[in-house]
C-alpha cells in the first residue's frame, strides 16, 4: 500500500511539474491567454507561482516556474521519505 501511495504522489507531482513547464513555454509560443486550455493552465499554476514571484523575478526574467519545480522536487522527496519511513 505504501509503495502504491508513493507512486501516486510521484505521478501527481510529475503531472503538475509538466503543467508548470507548459506554462513557462506558453508565452514563448504566443499562446492566446483567452483560450480555455491556456486559461486552465494559468488557473491551476497561478496559486503556486504567484507567491514565488515576489522572490524570483530578476529584471525581466520570471524564475518562479524554476523555483516551483525545485520546491516540488524537494516536497516529493520529503513526502516519499515520510511515507516509506511510516511503513517500517
For 11-35, the pLDDT digits (tens) are 999 999 999 999 999 999 999 999 9
Q: What is the pLDDT of residue 23?
A: 96
Q: Does position 1 have pLDDT exceeding 80, yes or no? A: no
- Cell digits of residue 47: 496559486
Q: In degrees rounded to 5, what are phi and psi of residue 32?
A: -75, 120
pTM of structure: 0.89
For 33-86, the pLDDT digits (tens) are 999 999 999 999 999 999 999 999 999 999 999 999 999 999 999 998 998 888
Amino acid at each position: 500500500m505504501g509503495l502504491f501511495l508513493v507512486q501516486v504522489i510521484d505521478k501527481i507531482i510529475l503531472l503538475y511539474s509538466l503543467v508548470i513547464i507548459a506554462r513557462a513555454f506558453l508565452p514563448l509560443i504566443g499562446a492566446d491567454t483567452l483560450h480555455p486550455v491556456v486559461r486552465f493552465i494559468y488557473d491551476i499554476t497561478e496559486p503556486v507561482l504567484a507567491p514565488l514571484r515576489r522572490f524570483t523575478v530578476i529584471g525581466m526574467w520570471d524564475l518562479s516556474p524554476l523555483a516551483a519545480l525545485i520546491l516540488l522536487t524537494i516536497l516529493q522527496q520529503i513526502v516519499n521519505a515520510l511515507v516509506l519511513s511510516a511503513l517500517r
